[in-house]
Structure 1
Amino acid sequence: MSDNQERRRYTRVEFSNPAKMIQGEEQCSAVLLDISLNGVLLKTPDEYRINVEEPLEIRIELAQDTEIQMKGSLAHSSNTMLGFRCDSIDVDSVAHLRRLLELNMGETDAAERVLAELLHLA
């Protein structure tokens, strides 16, 4: 399976929200462009410093006290976008992501599809 097919296998939703990249003592604000169980696409910040050999934490703010947190690795980058593959995600974040996909896809079977994708990851 090609990388493009692998990326497209997961339900993706365009969603522009504040995000943070955290790696050790380094933190950088960014803007989320889209999200799936496979990872996130962020707008490349004007200035950032990450070690591409090390995983980092990505936090996407949904509401004042609600966020999606995942650990990820840089999959691809350009002057405009940074793509991170999801290496791990906690149960609460999966629940928030599931709800986000349901609300933004407007499809009643979105939750079941997301759960099927999650089970495929295991």
Structure 2
Amino acid sequence: MPERRMFSRVVYLTAATITQNEQSWSSSVLDLSLKGALLATPEDWTEGNHADYIVTFQLHDSDIEITMEALLVSERDDFLRFQIDHIDIDSASHLKRLVELNVGNDDLLHRELGQLTDLKDIV
């Protein structure tokens, strides 16, 4: 089966918090891309709606926190797949740098950044 992903994923394991309204769950980031994140399903997970989640996590060995508003795209087995709906400029810069360091290919990164811009124009 051909690869359909438009964005490279990087493995990044760290603790995360998922919030929606007044509910909050502890989870773990498993991998990231410029467009979304894969998280472990929390043990006490109770699905709300698929919109308006906030996912936050801290970069290793730093006080930098990445915060993103995300849509729950799918729940499968022990995984939650989120699509970034909105991310502030500081978090986006840190996420870009994290992906850049782990992808190791500047041309690929710039192509993906261009695709992000193109997608925003469509929506």
Are residue 40 (structure 1) and residue 42 (structure 2) matched?
Answer: no
TM-score, structure 1 as length reference: 0.83
Determine what percentage of the aligned residue pairs are the same residue.
Answer: 36
What residue identity is the alignment partner of 1:101? V
Deviations 1:45-90 (A, max 9, x none): 1112341244110112114421221111111102310011111111
Tell whether the 8 Å contact from 1:44 to 1:81 is kept in structure 2 after alignment: yes
Instruction: State the shift of 1:35 in Å.
Output: 1.1
Give the aligned length. 117
CA distance in 1 between counterparts of 2:66 and 2:110 reads 19
TM-score, structure 2 as length reference: 0.83
The runs of 4+ residues in structure 1 deviating greater than 4 Å are: none
Aligned to 2:91: 93
1:1-122 to 2 correspondences below 5 Å: 5=4, 8-63=5-60, 64-122=62-120
Q: Calculate the aligned-residue CA RMSD, in Å.
A: 1.9
Instruction: State the shift of 1:13 in Å.
Output: 1.3
Instruction: State the shift of 1:22 in Å.
Output: 0.9
Instruction: State the shift of 1:111 in Å.
Output: 4.2
Gaps of at least 5 residues in structure 1 are none
Distance 1:76 1:113, change over 3 A: same
CA distance in 2 between counterparts of 1:82 and 1:114 reads 23
